[in-house]
Structure 1
Amino acid sequence: MQEPVRVDIIVTCKLGFERVVASLIKELCPECRAVPSPMGYMGLVLVEAPTQNIEVLANNIREKVPEAEKVFKVDAECNARLQELGECVKPLASGISSDESFAVRTVRRGKHDYTSLDVNAYIGSVIKEATGARVDLENPDKVVLIQILQDKAYVSIVPGSEFYRKMAPTKFPMYKLYRRMVVTHEPYLGPPDASYVMGTRIGREIQCFEVGKLVVAPVGAVEAEALQRFLRGVIDGQKSRLGIQKKSYGREVHRTEILVQDMYQFVRSWHGKPLIIFEPEGEPVSRVGGELADFIIEKVFREKKELGVMVGAREGIPSGLFRYADFVLDVAPGVVISTDLALTSGLIAIGTAVHDKLLGLDLSDGVEKLAE
């Protein structure tokens, strides 16, 4: 199929779904032309709607075609030359008021004598001069999206909310809390294969959350070979997750330190520091969530103390240690949580209780710096 003479809507989708999306769009609009993978570019469908109201059709695609990831109405089209792009964007700048923020984002397909960053900088200066609006690359009110397909450029002005972000201004980076934690975990000493596999899962968990330290804490004397298998699994699981984080994160990753200490001796050495134990005998997190959040913010963020978190395995945390904990918590009353899920459940419960209160604080008082 040839490319449409005019492009009214650009739809993005997961690779391999181009023909499915094009077919569904044709069902919504039989008179439209929908071109999957134009010029061989996968994940893309170009739509020409000669008789349809373009805005209505775009909304219909958003509502009725879940296979469509993003749906952009094309506001202007021109040749893919920088100067021509600048002239093309100027009339559209009226859609951005002087009290709004904006960002320019460019997706470039094909070979050109400029980069996507060149386009962003040049078009950004054109819009700023025309409107007086401020640039906000993190949380813009409007996004000027420029999609370049070889010798053609398509411009769309869309709300900033169209672009999902993992770390929006309404979120606090919880790894800053988890890095201040020392997790004490009873080793899982079962059959040989089970001990190793359980260890790998726990190793991946502690590294996933970037916990400050993990203390593997047996209760008294244990069989050495079983403990060795569990520890090998923990280390292998941690290394596996750490390697993925280093490749995919756009920030420095904290490597969780792994230690071994008898559980009773750990509690003795932890005297005077904040301590939370997760066991079914405790209070439901939902009942004490507010008190828990205030306690953690005060101790960890303001007093800059480490937070101890204890999680059991097959036998659980000895009840005599409950007296030394500030909180004994039950994540899911009535549910016996398996060992490989217990730590994750507890850490998520703490993060959920604390998160919104952190956002409600005035960060000018130093809480953000204390969290680092």
Structure 2
Amino acid sequence: MKFLIKTQKDMEAVAANYIKDLLDETEIWVTPQGYSGLVLVDTKDPKAEEKFFEIPEIERVIPILFEVPATLDAIVSVAEEIAKHIREEETFAVKTKRRGKHEFSSIDVNITLGGKIRELTNATVDLSFPDKTVLVEIIGERAYISIAGKEEWKKFTPEKINARKLFKKVTIVQMPYWGDYKACKNFGEKIGRAVQAFEVKELIIAPKEKMNAYELMEFIKGIRTGQESRYQIQKEAYPWKVEKVPISVWDLYQVIRDKRRSKRLLIITDPKGNTIPEVKENLAKDLYYAKEVVIFIGSREGIPRGLFKYADYVLDLAPYMTFATEHGIPAVLIALWTIYEEELRKKGTKGE
């Protein structure tokens, strides 16, 4: 039987050598037609697929059920055989990876082959979470076709709750970093990447007192640079539209006055506070019902103690440890998401 093995780029030869050691009566083609990350294996070993999983360099094993010339007619000609593996009550999708030059596109294969399979089986097409996936791997002049079940590892599944349910109502109030200009900019970049990565509602840069304008300028420049770099990655990675996080500057004491008056949930991170397990139950409920969650994070020095009395929670995220400035945002958001998700599952909601 033939298998198409996928690896990280430049790990093909390593995987191939381990395959040679594990399997008898085996032919191996490394980087077929020069395409990296691929190994073609033809073996008579009945336990080959099981043995492949002993090799950590192998990322995916695709058993080849049909091999045909890389033409649209030839690929569609095996539709009847493919249809025997898909029941009417199942959902399916066709996914094509095309390598080389052809007179058709990957989308042409998906539409034409998918339409024929639907006609033969009366099964429903589901491009997001299909029960069966018809994989068409085209390498030059040959097309290798396989049928896979549900993916074991997948970014987006119905079982996962979207973390944006919490983060879209979170405002981060970050004290600016001050001192050396270069350090100010470097810390700003890290904070800019963090707020954009979590796609929070807003970032407020909040000095607690008069500070050097040029140090603040470098800090803000860094935030802009970090945010932009993360935003560009998100635009490429996500199948939905991504917005840039709004960023503003406001005096720290005025922020807490305004947010307190508007009855928002106020959280301050500080080593003098309570640990999350101590307040977990009430905090989870408050996070669930809050219209806005405002989180105050220090920089070089903590949030002034005089503000603690206005906070709903003062949280010590890791007792006997002090976080670096750039770690504050990821640490608190991941901690809060963990308990918020538990609350959503208790209520049987996806947080809509």
Alignment of 1:249-264 (within 5 A): 249-264=238-253
Distance 1:119 1:315 in 2: 59
Does residue 33 (structure 1) correspond to residue 32 (structure 2)? The answer is no
Distance 2:345 2:74 in 1: 44
Q: 3-state DSSP class of the match of 1:344?
A: helix
Alignment-derived partner of residue 221 in structure 2: 232
Alignment-derived partner of residue 135 in structure 1: 125
Q: 3-state DSSP class of the match of 2:16?
A: helix
Q: Would the aligned equivalents of 2:32 and 2:40 in 1 still touch at CA under 8 Å? A: yes
Q: Give the letter aligned to residue 338 of structure 1.
A: A
Alignment-derived partner of residue 111 in structure 1: 101
Does residue 336 (structure 1) correspond to residue 322 (structure 2)? The answer is yes
Distance 1:92 1:360 in 2: 42
Structure 1: tracts of 5 or more residues without a match: 1-6, 300-304
Q: Would the aligned equivalents of 1:296 and 1:354 in 2 still touch at CA under 8 Å? A: yes
Shift of 1:187: 1.4
Alignment-derived partner of residue 323 in structure 1: 309
Alignment-derived partner of residue 202 in structure 2: 213
Distance 1:141 1:284 in 2: 43
Distance 1:176 1:249 in 2: 16
Shift of 1:362: 5.6
Alignment-derived partner of residue 181 in structure 2: 192
Distance 1:260 1:356 in 2: 34
Q: 3-state DSSP class of the match of 2:323?
A: coil
Quickly say closer, same or farther: Cα 1:288–1:96, change in 2 above 3 A: farther
Alignment-derived partner of residue 85 in structure 1: 75
**Share of identical aligned residues, percent?**
37
Moved more, 256-265 or 354-363: 354-363
Q: Give the letter aligned to residue 257 of structure 1.
A: P
Distance 1:129 1:290 in 2: 53
Q: Give the letter aligned to residue 161 of structure 1.
A: E
Q: Give the letter aligned to residue 156 of structure 1.
A: S
Does residue 306 (structure 1) correspond to residue 314 (structure 2)? The answer is no
Alignment-derived partner of residue 270 in structure 1: 259
Does residue 170 (structure 1) correspond to residue 159 (structure 2)? The answer is yes
Shift of 1:114: 1.8
Give the RMSD, CA atoms, in angstroms.
Answer: 2.1
Q: Would the aligned equivalents of 2:173 and 2:296 in 1 still touch at CA under 8 Å? A: yes
Quickly say closer, same or farther: Cα 1:237–1:109, change in 2 above 3 A: closer
Shift of 1:179: 2.7
Query: Which stretches of structure 1, 4 residues or longer, exceed 4 Å deviation after superposition?
Result: 359-364
Alignment-derived partner of residue 57 in structure 1: 48
Q: Would the aligned equivalents of 1:77 and 1:88 in 2 still touch at CA under 8 Å? A: no
| TM-score in terms of structure 1 length | 0.87
Shift of 1:331: 1.4
Distance 2:103 2:217 in 1: 58
Tell me the alpha carbon deviations over residues 165-210 of structure 1, each in whole angstroms, 9 at most, x when there is no partner. Answer: 2222222222343232221111122333322221221122112212
Q: Give the letter aligned to residue 280 of structure 1.
A: P
Does residue 345 (structure 1) correspond to residue 312 (structure 2)? The answer is no
Q: 3-state DSSP class of the match of 2:78?
A: helix
Q: Give the letter aligned to residue 275 of structure 2.
A: P
Does residue 295 (structure 1) correspond to residue 295 (structure 2)? The answer is no
Alignment-derived partner of residue 20 in structure 1: 14
Quickly say closer, same or farther: Cα 1:247–1:148, change in 2 above 3 A: closer
Q: 3-state DSSP class of the match of 2:130?
A: coil
Structure 2: tracts of 5 or more residues without a match: none
Q: Would the aligned equivalents of 1:192 and 1:229 in 2 still touch at CA under 8 Å? A: yes
Distance 2:328 2:211 in 1: 22
Alignment-derived partner of residue 89 in structure 2: 99
Does residue 282 (structure 1) correspond to residue 276 (structure 2)? The answer is no
